[in-house]
Structure 1
Amino acid sequence: MRCAPDAVARVLATAVPEPVTVDRLEPLTGGASADIWSVDATDGAGTAHALILRRGASRGDISFGIDPRLEPLVQRAAAGAAVPTADVLATFADDDALGTGYLMRRLPGETIPRKLFRDPAYAVALAALTGDCATALARVHEVPLDALPALPQLPAYEQLTFLESLHRSIGQPVPTFELGFAWLRERIPPPAPLRLVHGDFRTGNFLVDERGLVAVLDWELAHLGDPAEDIGWLCTRAWRFGGAGEVGGFGSRADFYAAYQRASGLPVDHDRVRFWEVFGSLKWGIICQLQAFAHLRGERPSVERAAIGRRVTEAELDLLLLTL
């Protein structure tokens, strides 16, 4: 969908002095769930604004995300609870020219894991990232529920049922996934007190500069649930990107758990985290499978989807290592 400068200027003018001039509008690489643009603009008072425009895109064959109208509301609530994240400046919904999304401040930093892990310029940041991310996650889980919009409540059994239905819809059973479903069904943890769950708290969604964590990105999978889900997802091997640390490729479990407990005052239940780590590996494997079949069936032909499909076997190995 085209992004018109005059439409962006019109939306921004609801938050800054008019008239607004859009000086630069450039598409950025985004995921399947969002269309992302870098925006430079000047308001009527002569103030320059460096912004990111994020709007909902077709979610295709994976329907995990919340209504895009809710994303900026969650992000604002998180910022109000001292979670490091970009300030939301303006929102728009069902706009004829732009669709639904929001404008937020553009912050400096890097998200690409291979750059963070390989560039010596980020050595100090990597050393600080365990504590930074643990503190940020503790703050996510402390966001007052009454500050949030109406988010879905997603207990473990409901997510497992949904994930299984997605896998069955493909029509090609994977024996290792069947083992994973059986293992998880036998170990569903008792309900935990509801807290805000980011839903995709992982390396790749962290904006990092040379000193450490700048912002937590991508709130489209936010929901209410078990906070251990976020920890298990961060520990899932797929999000280590070749890094040595069991937590996001950069940290140790012991250090992260200790830092999270200090910041949150909540104990880390290792069994709960293991359940969600197994769940995360299975979820990622099924996402890879969905991507592959969207390509193979001609629904959304894409070399990238085909390549992601080959990673099903990685998820299978992770499941076996975690459960056997």
Structure 2
Amino acid sequence: MAMTHVPSTLQDGIRAVLNSVCGTVVTVGEPRQLTGGASRQVWAFDAEGPDGRPLPVVLRRDPPGHGDAARMRAEAACLRAAAAAGVPVPTVLASGDSAPGIDAPYLLMNKVEGESFPRTLQRDPAFEAVRGHLAEDMGYVLGLIHRTPLDTLGMLDATDPVDAIEVLYRDLNDPRPAVEVGLRWLREHRPPQRPNTLVHGDFRIGNLLVDGTGIRGVLDWELAHLGDPVEDLGWLCVRAWRFGASAPVAGIGTRDQLLDGYERVTGFRPSASELHWWETFGTLRWLVLSRFQAERHLGGAEKSLELAAIGRRVCESEYDLLDILGLLDDSVALPPPAPPGPTVHDRPRVPEILDLVAETLVDDIGPALAGTQERQRYLLRICVNLLRTAGRELDDGPGTDSLLGDALRAVGCDSEAELTARLREGALPYRDDDVLRAVSIAVSARLRVASPRHLNK
């Protein structure tokens, strides 16, 4: 009796699925894991049919052992519905809850050519022409998404966005006064709810494929849901998705350009105050989601350098949240780093060692990595950033803790956790100058160590 071959490697699993889909024998090259994808893995590979015709394909799967089959099925449904509505998206070739060799919920899609790296889109001369209309193009594509019929998307949830993000935040058990300030403000200033549409949930550069003509593909639909369409517009304006550039929409264009494109499709234009509310919500949402992602590593569910690094960037969103609300105390002056004290140990000191290792990785190890080792170069950059963060924390000294302690005592609290609880109870007004001073000191102190370039940008 002939034995049936069971795929055992990722390459074998992909080949078996494609053979089934295509109804013929397909040759599959070695899969290459792409950068990014903190929550899901993305693999690219080259396949060929029996006639030698190339079949460039992308696999998107959950990390094995951490799958969410229902969400992957919903993502596949969104891609198909969006494609039918004229949204530029990859074509779904196959999807499933699992398959031998793939070993997790997955999507197989055709590979769409285009650039997604934010800084390339923002700076490369090759994209200079498209940058002039890209913000308007993004508004136009969002309009197409929001006009997508919902008849095949009944599996998507439609929960209250503020309630949902508050529940997620509470479950993390990581009290943060800035989040309490943001939640209070959002509930006090909420605009009227618009009729639900399909909401992409993570529409931004980095999740778009762009060529010299415009947007070729909208990727990463795992956060898609039903909700107020202005949520997507506000999310696109969040500072995190400007990637260090100054223009308010993706670091590339203006809000008016974005809304011009959106209005061309939908016939309506959100007000400035409505867009501001959703941009504020998006800032708080990313704060909580980034802390949630870090918890997957910190809680032991999934060991990941990327997820660990995200944990040290939560303070960027805390700062942005206070800033967009006009509640950041700009008068806060943190004490200078402490000079090194006496020690029995020889030089170089630990911060000096960390700096030296980081410089060596950048100057010697990084250039030695081949251009095809994209993921390794990406992980190396994360390592360098974490080493430098560790060095700055060692240098920080006790002065900041003392300053924060004084500010907390000025509002009758012994800790940030106590301040958080009192803000949540309404026992302290969140606009109180002393409260905002304490919150601003804590956030600025974290940011000076984790991401000093983010301060006062």
User: How is 1:290-305 mapped onto 2 (pairs within 5 angstroms)?
Assistant: 290-293=292-295, 295=297, 300=302, 302-305=304-307
Distance 1:312 1:24, change over 3 A: closer
Paired AA for residue 143 in structure 1: T
Per-residue deviation, 1:24 = 3.3
SS across alignment from 2:112: coil
Corresponding residue number in structure 1 for 2:171:
169
Q: Which has the larger radius of gyration?
A: 2
Give the alignment's TM-score, normalised by structure 1: 0.89
Using the alignment, how far apart are the partners of 2:72 and 2:59 within structure 1? 13
Per-residue deviation, 1:302 = 4.5
Q: Does 161-170 or 294-303 show the bigger shift?
A: 294-303
> Are 2:227 and 1:225 equivalent residues in the alignment?
yes
Corresponding residue number in structure 2 for 1:27:
33
SS across alignment from 2:30: strand
Distance 1:274 1:65, change over 3 A: farther
Is contact 2:136-2:259 (8 Å) kept?
Answer: no
SS across alignment from 2:290: helix
Per-residue deviation, 1:294 = 5.0
Per-residue deviation, residues 273-323 of structure 1 (Å, max 9, x unmatched): 222111111111123333455555655554433432232222122212222
> Are 2:106 and 1:101 equivalent residues in the alignment?
yes
Q: Does 115-124 or 221-230 show the bigger shift?
A: 115-124
Match of 1:56 among 62, 81, 88: 62
Per-residue deviation, residues 217-270 of structure 1 (Å, max 9, x unmatched): 101111111000000000111100112211111110111112211122122233
Corresponding residue number in structure 1 for 2:139:
134
Corresponding residue number in structure 1 for 2:117:
112
Paired AA for residue 95 in structure 2: T
> Are 2:16 and 1:10 equivalent residues in the alignment?
yes
Using the alignment, how far apart are the partners of 1:220 and 1:298 within structure 2? 23
Corresponding residue number in structure 1 for 2:80:
76
Using the alignment, how far apart are the partners of 1:317 and 1:65 within structure 2? 35
Give the alignment's TM-score, normalised by structure 2: 0.65
User: How is 1:135-150 mapped onto 2 (pairs within 5 angstroms)?
Assistant: 135-150=140-155
Per-residue deviation, residues 1-52 of structure 1 (Å, max 9, x unmatched): x853232122112332401111332222242321211121112343220110
What 5-or-longer segments of structure 1 have no aligned partner? none
Give the structure, 1 or 2, with the largest relative contact order (CA under 8 Å, sep 6 or more): 1
Per-residue deviation, 1:58 = 6.7
Using the alignment, how far apart are the partners of 1:142 and 1:58 within structure 2? 34
Is contact 2:38-2:307 (8 Å) kept?
Answer: no
Match of 1:92 among 91, 96, 103: 96
Q: Does 228-237 or 253-262 show the bigger shift?
A: 253-262
Per-residue deviation, residues 59-100 of structure 1 (Å, max 9, x unmatched): 97xx99961112112101111111011111222223233222
User: How is 1:272-291 mapped onto 2 (pairs within 5 angstroms)?
Assistant: 272-291=274-293
Distance 1:66 1:113, change over 3 A: farther
SS across alignment from 1:36: strand
What 5-or-longer segments of structure 2 have no aligned partner? 1-7, 327-457
Q: Does 215-224 or 16-25 show the bigger shift?
A: 16-25
Distance 1:59 1:121, change over 3 A: farther
Structure number with the higher helix fraction is 2
Match of 1:237 among 225, 236, 239: 239
User: How is 1:169-248 mapped onto 2 (pairs within 5 angstroms)?
Assistant: 169-248=171-250
RMSD: 2.4
Is contact 1:52-1:103 (8 Å) kept?
Answer: yes
Paired AA for residue 91 in structure 2: D
Corresponding residue number in structure 1 for 2:322:
320
Using the alignment, how far apart are the partners of 1:204 and 1:214 within structure 2? 13
